[in-house]
Structure formats: C-alpha cells, structure tokens
Amino acid sequence: MTNHDSTDTALFFPAFMYGDKTTCRRKMKAEAKKWAKCYAEGRPFPEPKLIPIPPGSVVFMDESTSHWVGGGYSMISPKVVTISANPKAEGLNIQWRAYLLDELMLEGPSALRLPHEERSAFRCAFVQSVSRSAWGSISAAAISCLLNSIECTVPRIEGVLRHWEVLDTLKYVGFDERPISLTQFMTYHFHGNVAMWVDQPTGELRTDLATAIAQMREVSPEEVHARLVKRLRDLVDIDKELKHPEWLKSPGVIEARLQALRNEGQEFYDDLTSGYWREHGQFLAWLEKDYGPGSERFDPSFGKKP
C-alpha cells in the first residue's frame, strides 16, 4: 500500500466510503472483488482510490446510526425529533462511511467462497494490511467480530497510535449519534484491553494503549491465560447484568471453561486474549446461561477438581 496519509497536513480516506448509501455500497462490492482476487492470487491487497477528508468531518462507524441520523432524527430526547431543519448545518450529513470496511472484509471471503476454516486467515491478513494506513486502522478499530486475538488487535491499535494527530482532527459517530473525539472513541473500544494489560495505568490513553500492545507482544501463552482469568474474575464484579456472580467467582468455574476452550483450539478463545470487553462480557453471560444455576447442564461440581 502506498501510504498517502503519512503526513501531518493531509488525511485521505477511500472514495468508496464517501457519498450516498447506494453509491457507496455498489463501490464497496466492486472493491471487495478486487481484494478477493488479489488474495486468491497471493498478491498484496490493492490500495483503493483515496480522496482527501477535511478536518472536522464526521465519520460514521455504524450503519444503523448513519441511517437514523441521515433521516434527520435523534434518540437523545424522549421523543423522535428532527435534529434541525438542515442536518448538514450541524455536520451530521451522512457522507463518510467507515463502517463499510467491515462489510468489505466480509464480502471478500464470500466472493472467494472460502470455507469457514479459511476465513480467519483472510481476516487476519486483511486487518494487518489495512492497519498500516490511517483510514484502515481507524475503520478496523470498530470491527469486533473475531478480530480480537492479540495477532489482530496489536496492528489495529498500533495503526491508530501512528496516525493519531491526523485522525484526531475528525469526529466519530458510533452507536450514539453524538459525535465524539478520537480519545472517546478509542476509550470506548479498548478500555478493556488497557484494564487487562496495563498494571499501572497513567490515565493518558495513548500511553496506556502503547503499554498494552507492548505487553501483548512479549508475553508467553501461559501469562496470557493467567491475565485472562484475572480480568474475567474482576469483570464479574463490574458487570451488573450477570445473574449469578457468586457462582461465576466460585473457584475453578471460569478456569474450567476457559481451559476447555483453549484445549479445543476454539477461535473464540483467541478472540478473548487481547482483552476486548464485549467478548469478555459474552463469555461470562454464555457461561452462566449454559452451565450456571437453573440451566439444564448445571452441575454444582462444575470446575471443581475431583
């Protein structure tokens, strides 16, 4: 990839991310076919056509929110109300659609008709490639589906840190239509990673993220597992939606299920290793649903050594 956005004065995003929904989706699908062809032939992924994105632009990271705000509506007040007579005047016109990178990543394997077991390799190669650029790293930061192994998380965070100054000139809209800063965006997505990997946080996000990925690079599989167990046990005290926290924190419960996933070589285990909060929450919710009190498979001796 030619790195057009390596300077401090200009930032470029793919042209297929800019414009109305129909046009962007058509361009994205055409782009996905090019990426799939390169992957099948063993060539580097191509660089899409890039166009400058002005400072202060609003970039949408979530498709549903972009549609909602694009219609001039807001969920902030109790009633559905128009944001203004002219949403564009508030910088909320739907033009930059970074969430399309997620769709491009999913379209590629479909175009190649890759079997399920080969799609993980495609996703890892994809995220490592796009994370070299500013537009790719910030777009990939919002992708969570099976991209939270250490292998796939480190390049995503590292790419954003490398291009922080230019990316910090934009505003980001995720699941809430309020535009937020880059710091707020990255805190939302990666606070769990900092909690798992930074023993003495400074409170300065860029510093703590750099520490987190440095730690991830150096540790052994055994330390990864030990940190994962500790983080999940700590999270039981934080997640107020869990119904059986006492059972989850019983000696051996979390450890037994984690070890089983690890032994089976499940992709979901790898997806837990970087510390992404959403996957951790899912693991705990599924554990108590499948094995906890009241479930069909509940066993009071679950996790206890014989």
d(CA 64, CA 257): 34
- The whole-number pLDDT of residue 279 equals 93
- The whole-number pLDDT of residue 217 equals 94
- The whole-number pLDDT of residue 94 equals 62
Helix (H) or strand (E) holding 275: none
Which backbone phi and psi does 97 adopt, to 5 degrees?
-120, 80
- The whole-number pLDDT of residue 301 equals 80
pTM of the predicted model as reported, rounded to 2 decimal places? 0.87
Partners of 59 in the β-ladder:
96, 172
Scanning the chain, the segments in alpha helix (DSSP H) are 21-40, 63-70, 100-112, 116-130, 134-141, 150-162, 164-167, 182-197, 205-218, 221-238, 245-248, 253-264, 267-272, 277-291
d(CA 249, CA 100): 40
- The whole-number pLDDT of residue 108 equals 83
Single-letter code of the amino acid located at 301: S
Look up residue 60 and give its DSSP letter: E
**pLDDT per residue as tens, the chain (306 positions):** 444 544 445 799 999 999 888 899 999 999 999 999 998 899 999 999 999 999 988 898 988 887 777 666 665 544 333 344 445 555 555 678 999 999 999 888 777 887 777 788 888 899 999 999 999 999 999 887 768 999 999 999 999 999 999 999 998 988 777 788 999 999 999 999 999 999 999 999 999 999 999 999 999 999 999 999 999 999 999 999 999 999 999 999 999 999 999 999 778 899 999 999 999 999 999 999 999 999 988 888 887 755
Partners of 171 in the β-ladder:
58
- In angstroms, the Cα distances linking 167 to 10, 55, 115, 210, 300 are 10, 9, 36, 17, 51
- The whole-number pLDDT of residue 179 equals 82
Summarize pLDDT for 199-246 with one digit per residue, the tens. Answer: 999 999 999 999 999 999 999 999 999 999 999 999 999 999 999 999
Single-letter code of the amino acid located at 141: A
Partners of 51 in the β-ladder:
13
Nearest to 192 by CA among 141, 151, 231, 244: 231
